[in-house]
Amino acid sequence: MTTGVVLSDELKHHETGSGHPEAPARIDAVTKAVAHPALAGRLETLAPRAAAREEILMIHWERLYREVVDSATRDKTLLDADTVASRRTAELAHLASGTVLTGVEAVMSGKVDNAFAFSRPPGHHAKPDKAMGFCVFNNVAIAAKFAQQRFKVTKILVVDFDVHHGNGTQKAFYTSPEVLFVSTHQWPHYPGTGALSEVGKDDGEGFTINVPMSAGMGDAELVRVFRDIVIPVGREFAPELILVSAGFDAHRDDPLGGMCVTKEGFGRVSELLVGLASDVCSGRTVFALEGGYNLTALEESIVSSLGALSGVGAQNFEDEDVDDSLVKGVREVHSRYWKSLAT
Ligand SMILES: [Zn+2]
């Protein structure tokens, strides 16, 4: 099995200012993770291309696009309260979105079996008309549209396990039955969306599944949600491609989240997704980096995730039984849309 790793050191030059958690050093953590001895010989490094203006405009409004491009004329622009653009951010945001497009191209053409795109700035909070939450362009949403248009993929599963709700991605596909968006996230928490009752609208009703989790929940609860909700629904939906918004800020050591997931939990969840991809879409899955702000936790969690993608072997993880009220709650809302949740 070959896993593509889409990475560029250039992405360090998106500067956010001292003390900002979404720091350039995150790319160093990624570089260290990719060089881990356990992964030796299993990864193929791919240089990303930049996304084109037209590709970004498949999701974003012209107005936001111009606002981002204009930021290149100033040392520092606040795109929102906590989203900073430096002089090279506009250029590098194109490259960040391009990491995921490069991953999709490599996977869809069969060059690699699956891929991890190390996008920075992250993307899942970016709405069609607004950069927010450290995110400039919505890398995963753009990649989903790209896969639909370039490769005629009709059904795409987007799984988002970042500790924050992927509000931008949800918004981009809220009325679409072709993109099933499933998000696990801490609740209540930034950005305030992602309630269980947000299920999609019009033709997209039932194609948004939110799993709000309490602070303090960790590996056992997350894995249970994947085993009992994400995987069965994914199998029933039978996508042709799986995109994963892989944020590692649900880690117990992360400064921005209150959840208690460990590298083993992230490994197990990644392994379940790889298994699903193998069952339904010939293994075609592309992970894209979102959050993760404790550098050690980020590095170790990426190693686990890449281990699962590249088939290093069973993750060191034992499923534990946990209170099933969380799973029951999701089933109550979504069993009318998904037979696999009716039991
Ligand atoms: Zn996050």
pTM: 0.98
Ligand 1 centroid from CA 163, angstroms? 5
Ligand 1 centroid from CA 261, angstroms? 13
Q: Which residues of the chain have pLDDT under 70?
A: 314-316
Q: What integer pLDDT is reported at residue 322 of this predicted model?
A: 86
Burial of 196 from C-beta contacts in 10 A (0-12 / 13-18 / 19+): middle
Ligand 1 centroid from CA 22, angstroms? 10
Ligand 1 centroid from CA 71, angstroms? 24
Ligand 1 centroid from CA 343, angstroms? 32
Contacts of 37 (CB under 8 A, 6+ apart): none
Choosing from 125, 164, 185, 334, the catalytic residue is 125
Give the distance from CA 226 to its chain's centroid.
15
Name residue, tokens 């992405």. 11
pLDDT digits (tens, 9 = 90+) for 261-275: 999 999 999 999 999
DSSP letter, residue 311: T
Burial of 119 from C-beta contacts in 10 A (0-12 / 13-18 / 19+): buried
**Integer CA distances (angstroms), 301 to 23, 201, 252, 254, 263, in order:** 17, 34, 11, 11, 4
Judge whether 341 and 233 are in contact, CB under 8 Å: yes
Ligand 1 centroid from CA 248, angstroms? 7
d(CA 42, CA 196): 39
CATH number for the domain that contains residue 110: 3.40.800.20
DSSP letter, residue 52: P
Q: What integer pLDDT is reported at residue 323 of this predicted model?
A: 83
Ligand 1 centroid from CA 191, angstroms? 9
pLDDT digits (tens, 9 = 90+) for 196-230: 999 999 999 999 999 999 999 999 999 999 999 99
Q: What integer pLDDT is reported at residue 238 of this predicted model?
A: 98
Ligand 1 centroid from CA 164, angstroms? 4
d(CA 160, CA 174): 15
| Closest alpha carbon to 98 in 47, 55, 65, 51 | 51
Q: What integer pLDDT is reported at residue 216 of this predicted model?
A: 97
Question: Which residues are found with C-beta within 5 Å of the ion, ligand 1?
Answer: 162, 164, 247, 249, 291
Q: What integer pLDDT is reported at residue 147 of this predicted model?
A: 98
Ligand 1 centroid from CA 290, angstroms? 6
Ligand 1 centroid from CA 65, angstroms? 23
What is the Cβ-side half-sphere exposure of residue 61, based on CA atoms within 13 angstroms? 10
* Catalytic annotation present for 125: yes
Q: What integer pLDDT is reported at residue 315 of this predicted model?
A: 67
* Domain with 27 in it: 3-341
**Angle CA 326–224–180, to nearest 5:** 80
Number of domains in the chain: 1
pLDDT digits (tens, 9 = 90+) for 302-321: 999 999 999 997 666 777 88
Ligand 1 centroid from CA 250, angstroms? 8
Contacts of 321 (CB under 8 A, 6+ apart): 220
